Amino acid sequence: MNDSHTLPTVDREPAKTDTQPIANPLWHMLPIEAVADKLQTDGARGLTQVEAARRLVQYGGNTLAQAQQRSTLSILIAQFRSIIVALLVVATGIAFAMGDNLEAVAILVVIIINTAIGFFTEWKASQALSALQRQSVRLAHVIRDGLESEIPAADLVPGDLIVLAAGARVPADGRIVECARLQVEEAALTGESLAVTKTSDVLEDKEASLGDRLNMAFLSTTITDGRGRLLVTATGARSEVGKIGILIDEAIVRATPLEQKLARLGRLLIVIVLVLCAIIVLAGWLRGVSDVWHMLEIGLSLAIAAVPEGLLAVTTMTLALGMQRMARMRALIRRLPAVETLGSVTVICTDKTGTLTKNEMTACVFALDQRRVEVTGAGYAIEGTFRIGDKSVDPLTDEPLALALKIGMLCNDAKVERADGNEAVLGDPTEVALIIAAEKAGINLTALTQEFPRLSELPFDSVSKRMVTVHQTPHGTVRAFLKGAPGTLIAASNSQLTATGVTPLATQDRQKWEAMNEELAGAALRVLGLAYRELPEAYTEADMGKELTFVGLVGMSDPLRDEAKTAIATCREAGIRTVMITGDQQSTAAEIARQLGIDVDSRGKLLRTVHGRELVGLDAEGWKNVVADVAVFARVSPEHKLQIVEALQLQGHVVAMTGDGVNDAPALKKADIGIAMGIKGTEVAKESADMVITDDNFASIVGAVEQGRIIYGNILRFLHYLLSCNFSEILTVFVALMIGWPLPLVALQILWLNLITDIFPAFALALEPSSPNVMNRSPRDPKEPLLTRSFIGLIVWQGLLLAGVTLLAFGIGLHWYGTEGESLRRATTMAFMTLALAQVFHAFDARSQNRSIFTSRLFTNGWLWGAVAICLILQVAAVYLPLLQRVLRTVPPTPLEWAVIAGCSLLPVAVVELVKLMTRAEYSKSIGSTKEV
């Protein structure tokens, strides 16, 4: 192992000897037959399901040690380390020192309640994050009882036969028994960044290091190219990675930029609040309002109420619960920062197949010898006919058609298993469609593969744009079958198959084939070329791709998703541009874009479609011009995807990029939001992405963007509410002291406000449902500060308003009753109830910065109504229950006092409504339409 590559380790108990697998020989030195014999398995059919279940019990699951989550106890203990608890403890000490035991006990109760609320918030956030992590299940492609299927990788056992494909993670240690251009990147284990070419041959070096065991593959390494099969020799903690002790630690638990902003804001507010409270204490003492200890208690209470200690916990909980909601909508967030970035997305670069379309490929037409053979039927059903116009065609007697169907079935890695009237499909939908087409002609896959056994293959890649399989024919010759991009195969062919036999492929023939290809692609069909070559006995890899005999074209339909067009229109209204990036031909892509409305911008301007060859050699200015007005990039490579992302980002765009292949990983990492496909995406793509769409649906991406906007909006809502309420509490006491009035609130009343009227409505605002116009706004600038000038201004004037009505009620009480004894108690009760109810009603104002609360959406947030009901009940109890009267120093208000309290507490609602009306009127006058902020 490379000494410079260090890995974190974990402590674990040694495995019990009775659960150890078969004695571990030097697997790389054994022939494949000996490996299968040692593992007591069938090297071709794999284990039986019964034996696999027995071994799972014997050896345990194929899992590594997980990074430990915070325990419930550690979350509880952390609550006592906060500045709020420290201030409360000091306040308790002061109360005891003053001989006010009842107040001291009340503050201790406040400590318990505050701790419980903080604990619940953090515990709920932790549970939500854990639930999201459990949703990400890694799968393995396994062969058991001779049948291929996908199972959780955790269920693999020694002796399992698994299939390896490009883009996947190796799910367990094992001996390679079959491979075709198999390359594995083993940096996670050996530190070597370059991919290693694997072999199935026996190695003789007994001292070979892990990196030199070329016929072995190891858990957590990455397959970058080719395919193969592997017999599992070790799982979980007994794998090489397991022995080292690499921790599986999800990136999802990192603090987000938003949380970091809030943490900085919280620290700044703590300093400001403590300074203000110190000024209040000093001013009150100097003015003789009360003794120094009483003023210190008031100052501490204000500090406790004003410090937004729960801000970060509520934010984390909001993000986590929002992520759970998004997961239910088939968008699995892997990294928390993605949630806030989603609300700022200005461009979504999306694949076509399976994202904008249903990925239900059906081979519907074959172009052969300039004839067009239509195929009926859809889906996985094998019912269908072959027709030229109105005339039926026998596919088995029509030589070009029969050969085309056989090429499609043989040059293929997909599997279709049928049992009890059901189909189990594994593999690429395009290849599945070719198998179904051949089955419609009565061709049996098992019989055909026995007749034409596969000798070798060249998997499809984005450079060659073709797949090649080499087979032995029934006559003993060797033949290569190819499928791939029509242009590539036509260019590599020097002959063609016609009804009369093989003829030279003249220039005019090439032009006819290319015209037919354009015609099919223009009908929004995915088009593949089919070809073959008779190989010499001593053939090379180069021989497989030249001097081909071109057989024809096959066109496959893939219906558009019903919701895709609506989702794209929604994006346009939200100020989000949709760009389609596809490997399909330019005419196919352009037609799909026209049908979906991607080819026009929000102003109705027609956008261009660009072929990948036009991107070659572009300089910075060229890329700037291309990305400015292009809606579709066709025939692009994964490298182009990365360049498109970079060019868009240089123009100031926030880019979301979809991807599914191993070569898409750089673009997914570079994008502001990397989106992997959950169904067709490779493990490498998923692990490089910020978000995984579990149904591969474009509408799910748009739904996630909407949820991202909702979550960020809700964070701003409760921030608006908390800060304006906290500011009003400080201001009420400060102004009263400055004008020579008695204290309008006692210490425990301030603490009560902090626990009751702050917490419940703030939590409810964090759960505000989507507003109807959330996707009618332009994307948020990600560089915009959390507290803009206008937002700070909003908090200040509304805090002043709440404090003003509280002081108004207090002033009326002082005027009626005076400033001594029981009379003062009535005035403070009026101030206390006014501020509490004004804050509760203010929660409705905080739902929107310019929408009236008196709309059809008044009752859409049940959580808020529940919070308001709880606060009202507790406030009534605060003035009528004898125990609370003693603790909070309140008295039951008279009907006249209730009238003053009600009028003053509802006045801010009326003022805010008037300001909103004026704002909407001004906006309507300048823009011509209203839009919610």
Using H for helix, E for strand and C for coil, what is the string for 773-787?
Answer: CHHHCCCCCCCCCCC
C-beta separation of 677 from 660 below 8 A: yes
| 100 in active site | no
Q: How many CB atoms lie within 10 A of CB 880?
A: 13
Burial label for 71, CB within 10 Å (0-12, 13-18, 19+), is exposed
Number of H helices, E strands in the chain: 30, 28
Helix (H) or strand (E) holding 333: strand 331-333
DSSP state letters, 406-441: HHHHHS---EEEEETTEEEEES-HHHHHHHHHHHHT
Q: What are 800's strand-pairing partners?
A: none
Q: What are 563's strand-pairing partners?
A: none
Any idea of the CA torsion for 171, 173, 179, 180, to the nearest 10 degrees?
50
- The set of residues, in sequence order, having a beta carbon less than 8 Å from that of 81 and lying 6+ positions away, is none
Q: Is 614 left (phi over 0), alpha (psi -120 to 50) or beta?
A: alpha
Q: What φ, ψ does residue 820 adopt, rounded to 5°?
A: -120, 140
One-letter amino acid for residue 231 of the chain? L
CA-nearest of 506, 93, 559 to 354 is: 559
DSSP state letters, 86-109: HHHHHHHHHHHHTT-HHHHHHHHH
C-beta separation of 931 from 774 below 8 A: no
The active-site residue out of 42, 155, 225, 351 is 351
Helix (H) or strand (E) holding 576: none
- String of b and e for 181-209 (b: at least 16 CB within 10 Å)? bbbbbbebbbeeeebbebebeebeeeebe
One-letter amino acid for residue 428 of the chain? D
| SS3 category, 728 | helix
Q: What φ, ψ does residue 206 adopt, rounded to 5°?
A: -65, -30
| SS3 category, 115 | helix
Q: State the Cα–Cα distance between residues 131 and 65, nearest whole angstrom.
A: 18
Q: How many CB atoms lie within 10 A of CB 283?
A: 15
C-beta separation of 150 from 168 below 8 A: no
Residue identified by tokens 């016929």 is 215
Residue identified by tokens 């507010």 is 269
Angle between helices 821-845 and 698-738 (to 10 degrees): 160
Q: State the Cα–Cα distance between residues 528 and 550, nearest whole angstrom.
A: 12
| Sign of the torsion angle spanned by Cα atoms 815, 818, 823, 827 | positive
Pair of tokens at residue 211: 């990196």
Q: Cα dist. 873→654, 756, 841, 869 in Å?
A: 47, 11, 14, 6
Name the residues annotated as catalytic: 351
